[in-house]
Amino acid sequence: MSTNFFNQIAQLEITGNLQLTISKGVENKLIVSIILLNDQCGDDAKQLITPLNLRGTAEELDEGFFESIAVPLETASGLMVNMEAYMKQLENAKKQSAIEKEKTDKEKKAKEEKDKKYAEAMAKADELDKEGKHRDAWMKVPNPNDFPEYAEAINKRKKELSDKFASPSLFATEQENV
């Protein structure tokens, strides 16, 4: 006796292990329970997929078995493959989110550190200016290239300080005497 049962199983587009249970029921009926298991799928929702149960005589099952199981098994297989792909993408998204959060935190910390250095340098310059040490204060004002976001304020402060310690002009003294 030759059958093509396994050839037809092989033609099904499924991923996973197909478990087939056949038991005898009442009145020469057979009960066929089929479930597709996919160990690659990490989503616990796969446990909610129930077995496909068919009941009929041997002749009825011979006639319509593969037509009855093909679409549901291929659908279940596709669902589990998609669930696994989804779980992997979700895990990647979590990793990316953690990486982005860490990157953002590092950038924020670096900016805070830079702002702190700027504030400290300007405070030191102000302190020296109050003490009348205008040249020293001018030296303590940070370089505008190091703090481009504060370049305008730095240049203004340097000009104010340089005006305080600049040597008086020869002409300014002559005009005052006139």
Distance spanning both ends of the chain, measured CA to CA: 132
* Beta-carbon contacts of residue 87 (< 8 Å; ≥ 6 apart): 41, 42, 43
Domain segments of the chain as ranges: 5-91, 106-167
d(CA 116, CA 45) in angstroms, rounded, equals 51
Q: Is 35 exposed, middle or buried (0-12, 13-18, 19+ CB in 10 A)?
A: middle
Q: What is the pLDDT along the chain (178 residues), one digit of tens a residue?
A: 667 888 899 999 999 999 999 999 998 999 999 999 988 888 888 888 889 999 999 999 989 899 999 999 999 888 888 888 888 888 888 888 878 888 888 888 988 998 899 888 889 888 888 888 878 888 888 888 888 888 888 888 888 878 877 665 555 444 444 4
